[in-house]
Amino acid sequence: MIVVRDASSIDELRTFAQAALSLPKAVVVGALASPPSVFVAASEDSGLDAGKLIKEQLAAVGGRGGGSPRIAQGSVPDAARVDDALSSLLKSIG
């Protein structure tokens, strides 16, 4: 699993994740403070559904999000909740 904190943009995370997804069982989790958001990407052989995972975990911290089984993103109400959302995602992935 690759964790990226304080990326400069969702586009930067997406570009990095697309390259990483060529690795076996790759999972990329990223966070941005501004705008307060998180990102998850999971390779097909990882066994994870990024869209489902992010939707469930962000709802638990007052955020919202979604996406495809491979790449998903979402927002949280404020920057103070980004760490909560990131921790929740990391715990659920294991």
Domains of the chain: 2-93 (3.10.310.40)
According to DSSP, the β-strands at 27-32 and 2-4 are parallel
State in Å, rounded, how far the first CA of the chain is from the last one: 10
List pLDDT tens digits, range 47-68: 999 999 999 989 988 899 999 9
According to DSSP, the β-strands at 27-32 and 64-67 are unpaired
**pLDDT (0 to 100) of residue 50:** 96
**pLDDT (0 to 100) of residue 66:** 93
All residues at 6 or more sequence positions from 12 whose CB lies less than 8 Å from its CB, including other chains = none
**pLDDT (0 to 100) of residue 94:** 77
> What does pTM read for this prediction?
0.88
Mean pLDDT, the chain, rounded, equals 90
Residues 22 and 67: beta-carbon distance below 8 Å: no
List the chain residues with pLDDT less than 50.
none
